[in-house]
Chains A and B, each alone.
Chain A
């Protein structure tokens, strides 16, 4: 088990209130595989420093969790496939 930190930028067209719900849906992969979610932080809408997919804004969310390496990889893959996700960053904490 390892500690990870995940940052996701969601599409600004996605309603800000539905972002926690959407993120939770993704994070069920971790709990299903025996991992634990330690913290979720919603930053809300922020201006992007440069345009991503022609969008000037994005809804940021940061989650820290503990899980197996394969699980985190699977989560990142699933996020990358989703159209509502502009960008993700998965980092190991305390590494």
Chain B
């Protein structure tokens, strides 16, 4: 029986550390745009490479920004 190949997931560089962001603010739409897809959806943690705690803060920030029309709920690219 062939042994299943265990692939080690490549650890992504934390984009927040790279941008030197300390607190995630819903007003910073330019930063939050990095964490949404071009259709306006929030990117998964495995894509963004941030910690669980940070991802949660990002998610609420994106949702707050959407309420204030700083970010789209959906982009009609199709």
Contact = CB atoms under 8 A, between A and B. Distances in A.
B27 interface: yes
17 contacts: A7-B27, A7-B68, A9-B68, A9-B69, A48-B69, A49-B66, A49-B69, A49-B70, A49-B71, A49-B72, A49-B73, A50-B69, A50-B73, A58-B69, A62-B27, A87-B68, A89-B67
B69 to A, nearest CB: 4
Interface of B: 27, 64, 66-73
B4 to A, nearest CB: 45
Contacts of A89: 64, 67-68
Contact of A87 (B27, B67, B71, B72): B67
Contact of B64 (A49, A50, A52, A91): A91
Contacts of A91: 64
Contacts of A7: 27, 68
Interface residues of A, number: 11
Contacts of B71: 49
Per CB-CB distance, the 4 closest pairs between chain A and chain B, nearest first, are A48-B69, A49-B72, A49-B69, A89-B68
Contacts of A58: 69
Nearest to A91: B64
A19 B9 CA distance: 52
A90 to B, nearest CB: 11
B45 to A, nearest CB: 24
